Structures are given as structure tokens and as C-alpha cells.
């Protein structure tokens, strides 16, 4: 029995093949590399999968780690896919679902990419991981590196959320703050990795396996829907790893015969303060121009230039999807609405998918009976919240008429 059906790495831009059992970064042509699997080596059925433990490693044949003993896990995956009945009734839509990634180690879906990326890095002999981050990826990779016994070097914009800095520190990461954006942090990481032995640059899509972890969101949605796919997926898009990964795994699933050819339309959601993918999609471009003066409180969406831009745009177009940018005020208002009506405390990035869905529905870009999956990428508890407390001074007369 083969634990992993991984066969090789392939460049989606120039088509070159690379050895998957060596530490690899990007293709010499500059593109990210994608892991490829041999469908003939996948000797399980959905029925076998159903009997496995409820974490993302239940799909190990379609993941890159070759030896079970190299799996580094904190129980990540199998997050709930839950209905939004009250919001659905108000909008007149019966099939609205939310994949809640807030319920995962480190509180964001970055844990998926980190679990698989760190496991594979350790298996290939890497001794330390290094990356720039807007916060959540650094937190997740530091935590999984600690679990694996690897060191971690993290460089963040000084404006990254304080909680994510604390998470890195708690996991023993070597953490630097830089006055700039994630691209500035990336240059420092590249310089450090070039000088240090045993360090791998694990920036988004600069190594091939983070995306393999993120694609498990697509596997779970398929399994949770009885090995069918929704009509539309709304995905909060920064570097786009999850969107690219899900689109990739739908293909892998069809090749092994677990799903048919029906595919969801993929919708990339960004903030109007940083929307390079939305602009490139609307202009019909193959690549996205970097976004100037990126600004949004949805830090996961603050990615002015994505290495996988052409892969995101390709997936949106192949799926007959689209891209939408939402202003920060609307994101916050959507977050409050979902909290009050469904009891879900979303991250701002997750709330953006609900706001985008509402807009797309109003504009007729999605149908009322479409089965739709929104992604809440992180736990709302990781973000600052407005102070709305009503206070009572018990040392003064209490106005019981108001209480």
C-alpha cells in the first residue's frame, strides 16, 4: 500500500518536470511548482476514507508525505460545513453554507498548509523554515515547526496583528518586524535564507507543499457533500493558495473517479483597499499588476502581488467564476450581521465572502437556488473588536427603568 501517490513536481507555466524527493523552491522560469500524483497508486475508496480519523491526513494518498512517521499533526482539518439558515431565509436562498476554518489549530486555515508543508520539509531533511507573513502564516508555521522540532524564522510587517506576533513568540520563532509590507519582508527572508544552512524559504508558493495542505479544504467540502461539489465557492483571496489548491484537487478527484466533471464556479473575494486579482480579472489580464498603497484591516487579504496570480486568474476563468472587491466598512457590517443572525464570529476576511455573496446575489451573478459555500478562513477571536460594552456603576443609584 502506498501512503502517498506523489509522483513528481510540474511547472504550470513552462511544463518542466522536477524531482519531488529533493528540496525544491520555484521553477527556474519563476513559477510556483505543483505536486502531481499517480492516480494508479491511489488504492482506496471514499468508503475507506470515511473510516479514518477526522483530520486532513485521512487523504494521505493525495498528500506529499511519504512516511506516516513524518506526519506532524495537531489534529488539523475536518472543520464544520454549516448551514446559514437565518441569513438564507432573509435572502430567500435555501442552500447557503459556511466552511468554518476558525475551528482549527492556530485559529486559521494557514494550519493546513503549515501541517503539510512542515511535515514534508522535515521528511526531506530541512532543519529550519523561514517566511514573510502578514501574521497568520507565521503563527501557523512557527507552531508546526515547534511541533516538528524545526527552527523558524519569521519576518512580519510591523502592522501585523499583535496576537500573531505573540503566537510566533510562544512557539519559539525567531521573529523580526519590518516597517513595510509583506513584499519587503520577503526580500529580507530571501537574503537570510541565502546565508543560512538548512533553512528553506517557505513563502507562499515558493515551496510546493503549502498548497497541498490548503487543497484539503476542497477534499473536505467534497466529502461533506457526499462526494459532490457546490455550485459556487466564495474564497477570501490573498496569495490565493486555497483557491488554486481546491481547483487543483477537484481535477485530482475526477482522475481517481471520486467525483464527476461538475465543478463549482470559483469566486475570488478581496478588499477594495487591495484588489490586484479583481482588477486583473476585470481587465482580462493573465497576470496581476502589483497594487499600490495596499490598505485593509483584513490583513489576510493585504497581498499586493501574488506569485500565483496567473494560477488564481486561470482557475477563476476556467471555472466560469468572477472576482469581487468589498470595502472594509461593508466587511465589518457583514461581520456584525453574521454574528447576530447566526452566532458565528467570523474573521473580517471570512465576512468579506458573505458580503460578496450578498452583492453577487443582488446583481444576479449567482442564482437563488445555487448551492454556495463561503469560507470563513479564521477565528474572529484573533481580531480586535469594537468596544460596545454598556457599563453599570454599582456605587451609584442604578436606573432600573433602563436596565
Q: Is the dihedral of CA 362, 365, 371, 375 positive or negative?
A: negative
Rounded to 10°, the helix 162-170/136-148 angle is 10
Q: How far is the CB of 138 from ligand PLP (least distance, A)?
A: 10
What is the rounded distance in angstroms from the CA atom of residue 46 to the CA atom of residue 223? 8
If DSSP codes are grouped into helix, strand and coil, which group holds residue 143?
helix
Among 145, 267, 377, 380, binds ligand PLP (CB under 6 A): 377
Nearest to 175 by CA among 156, 148, 203: 156
Can you tell me which residue has the cell 477565528?
A: 379
Q: Whose Cβ is closer to ligand PLP: residue 4's or residue 237's?
A: 237
Q: How far is the CB of 252 from ligand PLP (least distance, A)?
A: 18
Rounded to 10°, the helix 216-224/241-255 angle is 60
| Selected range binding ligand PLP among 37-45, 72-80, 235-243, 390-398, rule: CB under 6 A | 235-243
Q: Whose Cβ is closer to ligand PLP: residue 120's or residue 214's?
A: 214
Identify each DSSP E strand in 248-349 by its residue range. 265-271, 322-326
Among 26, 79, 108, 203, binds ligand PLP (CB under 6 A): 108
What is the rounded distance in angstroms from the CA atom of residue 105 to the CA atom of residue 112? 9
216 binds ligand PLP (CB under 6 A): no
With CB atoms as reference, the residue minimizing the distance to ligand PLP is 300
CB 400 within 8 A of CB 261: no
Q: Is the dihedral of CA 55, 56, 60, 61 positive or negative?
A: positive
136 binds ligand PLP (CB under 6 A): yes
User: What 8-state DSSP symbol labels residue 20?
Assistant: T
Site for ligand PLP in 245-304 (CB under 6 A): 300-301
Q: Which residues contact 399 (CB under 8 A, 6 or more apart)?
A: none
| Selected range binding ligand PLP among 39-47, 234-242, 271-279, 325-333, rule: CB under 6 A | 234-242
Q: Which residues contact 329 (CB under 8 A, 6 or more apart)?
A: none
| Selected range binding ligand PLP among 37-45, 195-203, 231-239, 365-373, rule: CB under 6 A | 231-239
Q: How far is the CB of 244 from ligand PLP (least distance, A)?
A: 8
378 binds ligand PLP (CB under 6 A): yes
Q: Whose Cβ is closer to ligand PLP: residue 8's or residue 279's?
A: 279
- Written as nine digits, the cell of 18 is 522536477
Q: Whose Cβ is closer to ligand PLP: residue 110's or residue 265's?
A: 110
Site for ligand PLP in 28-57 (CB under 6 A): none
What is the rounded distance in angstroms from the CA atom of residue 128 to the CA atom of residue 123? 12
Runs of H (alpha helix) within 209-327: 210-214, 216-224, 241-255, 276-282, 309-318
What is the rounded distance in angstroms from the CA atom of residue 58 to the CA atom of residue 254? 18
Q: Whose Cβ is closer to ligand PLP: residue 4's or residue 376's?
A: 376
Total chain residues near ligand PLP (CB under 6 A): 18
- Written as nine digits, the cell of 320 is 466560469
Q: How far is the CB of 102 from ligand PLP (least distance, A)?
A: 9
What is the rounded distance in angstroms from the CA atom of residue 164 to the CA atom of residue 392? 33
147 binds ligand PLP (CB under 6 A): no
Q: How far is the CB of 216 from ligand PLP (least distance, A)?
A: 12
Convert residues 335-354 into a mask of x (bound to ligand PLP by CB under 6 A) and - (unbound): ------------x-x-----
Burial class (CB in 10 A: 0-12, 13-18, 19+), 239: buried
Q: Whose Cβ is closer to ligand PLP: residue 119's or residue 296's?
A: 296
Among 122, 157, 239, 380, binds ligand PLP (CB under 6 A): 239
331 binds ligand PLP (CB under 6 A): no
Site for ligand PLP in 156-215 (CB under 6 A): 204, 214
Residues found near ligand PLP in the complex (CB under 6 A): 108, 110, 136, 204, 214, 236-242, 300-301, 347, 349, 377-378
Amino acid at each position: 500500500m502506498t501512503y502517498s501517490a506523489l509522483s513528481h513536481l510540474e511547472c504550470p507555466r513552462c511544463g518542466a518536470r522536477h524531482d519531488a524527493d529533493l528540496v525544491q523552491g520555484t521553477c527556474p522560469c519563476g513559477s510556483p511548482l505543483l505536486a502531481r500524483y499517480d492516480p494508479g497508486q491511489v488504492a482506496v475508496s471514499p468508503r475507506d476514507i470515511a473510516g479514518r480519523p477526522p483530520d486532513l491526513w485521512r487523504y494521505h494518498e493525495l498528500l506529499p508525505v511519504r512516511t506516516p512517521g513524518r506526519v506532524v499533526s495537531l489534529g488539523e482539518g475536518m472543520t464544520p460545513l454549516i448551514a446559514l439558515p437565518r441569513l438564507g431565509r432573509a435572502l430567500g436562498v435555501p442552500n447557503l453554507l459556511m466552511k468554518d476554518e476558525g475551528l482549527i489549530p492556530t485559529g486559521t486555515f494557514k494550519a493546513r498548509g503549515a501541517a503539510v508543508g512542515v511535515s514534508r520539509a522535515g521528511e526531506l531533511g530541512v532543519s529550519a523554515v523561514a517566511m514573510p507573513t502578514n501574521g497568520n502564516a507565521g503563527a501557523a508555521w512557527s507552531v508546526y515547526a515547534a511541533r516538528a522540532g524545526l527552527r523558524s524564522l519569521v519576518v512580519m510587517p510591523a502592522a501585523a496583528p499583535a496576537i500573531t506576533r505573540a503566537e510566533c513568540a510562544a512557539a519559539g520563532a525567531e521573529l523580526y518586524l519590518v516597517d513595510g509590507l509583506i513584499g519587503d519582508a520577503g526580500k529580507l527572508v530571501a537574503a537570510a535564507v541565502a546565508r543560512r544552512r538548512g533553512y528553506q524559504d517557505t513563502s507562499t508558493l515558493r515551496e510546493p507543499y503549502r498548497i497541498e495542505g490548503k487543497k484539503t479544504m476542497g477534499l473536505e467540502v467534497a466529502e461533506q457533500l457526499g462526494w459532490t461539489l457546490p455550485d459556487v465557492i466564495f474564497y477570501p483571496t490573498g496569495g490565493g493558495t486555497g483557491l488554486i489548491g481546491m481547483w487543483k484537487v477537484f481535477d485530482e478527484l475526477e482522475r481517481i473517479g471520486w467525483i464527476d466533471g461538475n465543478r463549482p464556479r470559483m469566486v475570488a473575494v478581496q478588499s477594495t483597499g487591495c484588489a490586484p486579482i479583481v482588477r486583473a480579472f476585470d481587465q482580462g489580464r493573465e497576470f496581476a499588476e502589483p497594487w499600490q498603497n495596499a490598505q485593509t484591516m483584513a490583513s489576510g487579504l493585504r497581498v499586493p502581488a501574488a506569485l500565483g496570480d496567473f494560477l488564481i486568474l486561470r482557475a477563476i476563468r476556467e471555472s466560469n467564476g468572477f472576482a469581487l472587491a468589498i470595502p472594509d466598512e461593508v466587511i465589518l457590517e457583514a461581520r456584525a450581521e453574521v454574528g447576530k443572525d447566526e452566532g458565528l464570529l467570523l474573521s473580517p476576511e471570512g465576512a468579506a465572502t458573505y458580503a460578496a455573496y450578498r452583492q453577487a446575489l443582488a446583481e444576479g451573478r449567482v442564482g437563488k437556488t445555487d448551492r454556495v459555500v463561503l469560507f470563513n478562513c479564521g477565528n474572529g477571536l484573533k481580531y480586535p473588536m469594537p468596544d460596545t460594552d454598556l457599563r453599570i456603576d454599582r456605587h451609584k443609584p442604578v436606573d432600573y427603568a433602563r436596565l
